[in-house]
C-alpha cells in the first residue's frame, strides 16, 4: 500500500541534544511538508520541499533543519536551539499542483526528558 511512514512514533530528547524525525513516502509525490501541532491547536508549517535538494522555510522554522536528498525522504532535525520542542510532528506529501490535496503520516510525538 502507498503511504507516508513516520518514525519513531514516540521520541524523547535530552537537554542540548539534536534529534531527527524520519518521514518516508512511496506515493511518488514531489512535494513534502513538516508541520507542528500543539495541544488544542491547528497545524503550523515548519519546512516544505517541492523538489529534491531544495526546501523552503515555513512559518516556524527557527530551531529546525531539514534535508531532501531523495524524493521519498524528508527528515526533520529538531536542534538544541528549539527551546520548546514538545509537540506532535506531522509529515505530509502531495503531487505538485495548486489543486492537489495533502496526505499525512501518523505523526511523531516528541517530549523532553
For the bound state, the minimum distance from the C-beta of residue 104 to another protein, rounded and expressed in Å, comes to 4
For the bound state, the minimum distance from the C-beta of residue 62 to another protein, rounded and expressed in Å, comes to 17
**In this complex, which beta carbon is closest to another protein, that of residue 80 or of residue 107?**
107
How many other C-beta atoms lie within 10 A of the C-beta of residue 49? 20
**In this complex, which beta carbon is closest to another protein, that of residue 6 or of residue 82?**
6
Phi, psi of 12 (to 5 degrees): -120, 135
The phi-psi region of residue 28 (left if phi > 0; otherwise alpha if psi is between -120 and 50; otherwise beta) is left
Binding site for another protein (CB under 8 A): 4, 6, 31, 33, 40-45, 48, 50, 56, 58, 88, 90, 92, 94, 96, 98-99, 101-107, 109
Q: Report the C-alpha gap between 63 and 7 in whole angstroms.
A: 20
Q: Report the C-alpha gap between 3 and 105 in whole angstroms.
A: 7
**In this complex, which beta carbon is closest to another protein, that of residue 80 or of residue 95?**
95
Amino acid at each position: 500500500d502507498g503511504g507516508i511512514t513516520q518514525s519513531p512514533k514516540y521520541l524523547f530528547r535530552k537537554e542540548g541534544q539534536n534529534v531527527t524525525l524520519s518521514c518516508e513516502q512511496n506515493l511518488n509525490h514531489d512535494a513534502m511538508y513538516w508541520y507542528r501541532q500543539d495541544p488544542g491547536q491547528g497545524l503550523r508549517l515548519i519546512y516544505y520541499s517541492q523538489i529534491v535538494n531544495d526546501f523552503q522555510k515555513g512559518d516556524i522554522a527557527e530551531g529546525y533543519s531539514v534535508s531532501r536528498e531523495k524524493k521519498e525522504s524528508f527528515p526533520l532535525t529538531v536542534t538544541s536551539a528549539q527551546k520548546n520542542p514538545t509537540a506532535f510532528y506531522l509529515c505530509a506529501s502531495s503531487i505538485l499542483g495548486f489543486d492537489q490535496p495533502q496526505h499525512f503520516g501518523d505523526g511523531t510525538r516528541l517530549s523532553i526528558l
